Structure 1
Amino acid sequence: MQLFITKRKNCNNKSMFDHRVLKHAMISIISLIIFSAIFFLIHVDTIIQHDDDSLHHPSSSSSSSSKGIIPQKSKESQTEIKLEAGVVRSTTTLTVSHIALNSLQEGNHREVEIMDNDDDEERGNTLLVAPINVSESERISWFRGKMHEFKILKSDKLAREFHGRVLGFFGNNNGCEGQFFMTWISPATSFGSRELLSVQSVFKVHPKACLVILSRSLDSVRGYRVLKPVLDLGFKVQAITPDLSFLFKGTPAEYWFHQLRKGKKDPGEIPLFQNLSNLIRLSVLYKYGGVYLDTDFILLKPFTGLRNCIGAQSMDLGQKHWTRLNNAVLVFDMNHPLLLRFIKEFALTFDGNKWGHNGPYLVSRVVSKLGRKSGFNFTILPPMAFYPVDWNKIDGLFRKPKTRSESKWVEAKLVQLTGESYGVHLWNKQSGRLVIEEGSILGKLVSHHCVICKTLL
């Protein structure tokens, strides 16, 4: 108090309002006002965005959120959605059939959970590759140190909703005419037009099918935006975070997975995600039954009538016997004994250092060992069914014809494919960087088997 009085006396010795003091004071006040206004606008915009996202991100309905079951279609609930500043919106009015309307608190909690989940995948997948040219013990040590970054190995809250969400999606009066599965263990941002074409081809051929994509990264706001063009057309596709502990439980892979999570298994030099995808597809068909497709497979005609079958990748034409099978397309009933044999082979012979050992070569080994053993009841389809073009010749589908004879070959090949093949495997590992040229075989196939064609070429 005394200090204040002393300062006041000193001020009286000068002009009460020095113009320099006033000038600085006015500048400070104006700056403060501008800063406050900007802060207020940003804060309000953030609240609006969070509120809007809580209405439009994919999650469980309030009536079934504990099980993660997708809500039934609601004709009364409608909303407008646009893509603006990262917020899901649209200028057209849509029936909310694939979007759950949670409260603001539930929505924000769920969004943070799945956005964190997506970010983890974005940061981790490209880094989680074991070092090469090291010993097995060194690789296991590396894996133990990185274990916490392998989010797919965790059975967290989101993963534990898996079974309920799958049952709710395929049931729940969804009118599914065929159960289809894909896996995606890469970041959501890498799910591009080629993969979206594969999804579209499913619905072009089976408009009332239901497709589950087992993916932690696509089970997110970002993943929802990737699939939104297909959802907006009313097709039934849902990305669901898999629970590997549940999928492998009660199978020969259960103990193998338990040892892997304890850091007692060598993951190998090949990315573990790739080998896990080989096991996931077997396990999900064993648990639920249906059709598994790789995301680089284009359907050309309905799978109606196909049951318990696997495709040959190559054949000995002289002997008329297959020489290699492939697991990019699998069609099996639930609990089929051949699937159990595949899973057992995976657990007993896993080798993460040999490409294809736990995938195409695995199914070939098992079927070869079975020979003519009865009780398995399955069919091996010729290469023309799923693999009409081998991996080392796939580039021919992407090139436009340059001569009259090449044009005739393209037309003849199109007739053959559309007549004899259920689909075409594009061998993305080989063709991922190829451009689909106008007038090429694939260009013509795309134009006839896409539902959002403008986004693909």
Structure 2
Amino acid sequence: VLSLACLLHGAHLYLLLQINTSAERHWLHISSDASRLAVIWKYGGIYLDTDVISIRPIPEENFLAAQGSRDSSNGVFGFLPHHPFLWGCMENFVEHYNSDIWGNQGPNLMTRMLRVWCKLGDFQEVSDLRCLNISFLHPQRFYPISYAKWRRYYAIWDTEPSFNDSYALHLWNYMNQERKTVVRGSNTLVENLYRKHCPRTYRNLIRGPQEPVTRDLDPGNK
């Protein structure tokens, strides 16, 4: 992972090599932040955290995902290869490195760079913002349930939301210190989302520890 992090900027390689990873408070998160920047800058594509449920295609090439009115996340983003915004992020990653602040190399970095590149106003209704060739997508696209309300995913809803304005849903696993899980037959929002949008994953999640793994021989049962 460190070798990927070193791709951030050759001129500052010496600084990165001086990092004592065993003493870093948030090294797991920092190395993940570095790796996703380097990989997407080099190859292009879309990055999604593993606790994101995709529900429809994302019709954007170069985009950041807002998790607040003017705050960007780094749990979801997409760019074409060698996009200058990501190169600027990699430079900023090294120049303003501070491991004592959680998110300084992650969502805070994306937010800092977005403010350098763009002068954006507030979102109007459910409309995205655009600056140069970057789209800043409305919080409803990926974060219709905010991090402060993450438990709502594990609740039973009288009427479940349609999420018609969303491309994917972030489950905020980092906030889930209570280790809430998908429970078979619970009828919680998260169970129904997995059942609808991730049927194969759902079957793996609900399989009991003693149940054998069998092949699905019915080609029509996807």
Give the TM-score band, short-chain normalised.
Answer: 0.7 to 0.9
Does the Cα contact within 8 Å between 1:309 and 1:378 map onto a contact in 2?
yes
Does the Cα contact within 8 Å between 1:399 and 1:440 map onto a contact in 2?
yes
- Residue matched to 1:368: 115
Does the Cα contact within 8 Å between 2:118 and 2:131 map onto a contact in 1?
no
Question: Which consecutive residues of structure 2, in runs of 5 or more, have no partner in the other structure?
Answer: 121-129, 207-222
**Residue 259 (structure 1) shift:** 3.2
Does the Cα contact within 8 Å between 2:66 and 2:72 map onto a contact in 1?
yes
- Residue matched to 2:39: 284
- 1:434 corresponds, among 155, 180, 187, to 180
- Residue matched to 1:390: 146
- Residue matched to 2:204: 455
- Letter aligned with residue 441 of structure 1: L
1-structure distance, mates of 2:62, 2:192 = 31
- Residue matched to 1:399: 155
**Residue 271 (structure 1) shift:** 3.0
Secondary structure of the equivalent of 2:98?
coil
Aligned-pair Cα RMSD in Å: 2.3
1:244 equivalent to 2:4? Answer yes
Secondary structure of the equivalent of 1:389?
coil
**Residue 400 (structure 1) shift:** 2.1
TM-score when normalising by structure 1? 0.39
2-structure distance, mates of 1:335, 1:393 = 36
1-structure distance, mates of 2:139, 2:34 = 23
Secondary structure of the equivalent of 1:456?
helix
**Residue 376 (structure 1) shift:** 4.5
- Residue matched to 1:296: 51
Does the Cα contact within 8 Å between 2:60 and 2:135 map onto a contact in 1?
no
1:425 equivalent to 2:173? Answer no
Does the Cα contact within 8 Å between 1:399 and 1:436 map onto a contact in 2?
no
- Equivalent pairs, count: 192
**Residue 430 (structure 1) shift:** 0.9
2-structure distance, mates of 1:255, 1:283 = 15
TM-score when normalising by structure 2? 0.78
1:443 equivalent to 2:156? Answer no
2-structure distance, mates of 1:445, 1:451 = 9
**Residue 436 (structure 1) shift:** 2.7
> How do residues 190-339 of structure 1 correspond to structure 2 at under 5 angstroms?
243-244=3-4, 248=7, 251-252=8-9, 254-261=10-17, 264-265=18-19, 267=21, 269-303=24-58, 305-315=59-69, 323-339=70-86
Q: Which has the higher contact order (CA 8 A, sep 6+)?
A: 2
Which whole-Å deviations, capped at 9, do the CAs of 1:202-253 have from their partners, x for residues lacking one? xxxxxxxxxxxxxxxxxxxxxxxxxxxxxxxxxxxxxxxxx527x70xx52x
Secondary structure of the equivalent of 1:311?
strand
Which whole-Å deviations, capped at 9, do the CAs of 1:65-116 have from their partners, x for residues lacking one? xxxxxxxxxxxxxxxxxxxxxxxxxxxxxxxxxxxxxxxxxxxxxxxxxxxx
2-structure distance, mates of 1:369, 1:300 = 32
Secondary structure of the equivalent of 2:88?
helix
Secondary structure of the equivalent of 2:68?
strand
Which protein is bigger by CA-based radius of gyration? Answer: 1
2-structure distance, mates of 1:299, 1:431 = 19
**Residue 307 (structure 1) shift:** 1.1
- 2:94 corresponds, among 347, 351, 368, to 347
Does the Cα contact within 8 Å between 1:266 and 1:352 map onto a contact in 2?
no
Does the Cα contact within 8 Å between 1:337 and 1:376 map onto a contact in 2?
no
Secondary structure of the equivalent of 1:368?
helix
1-structure distance, mates of 2:13, 2:33 = 13
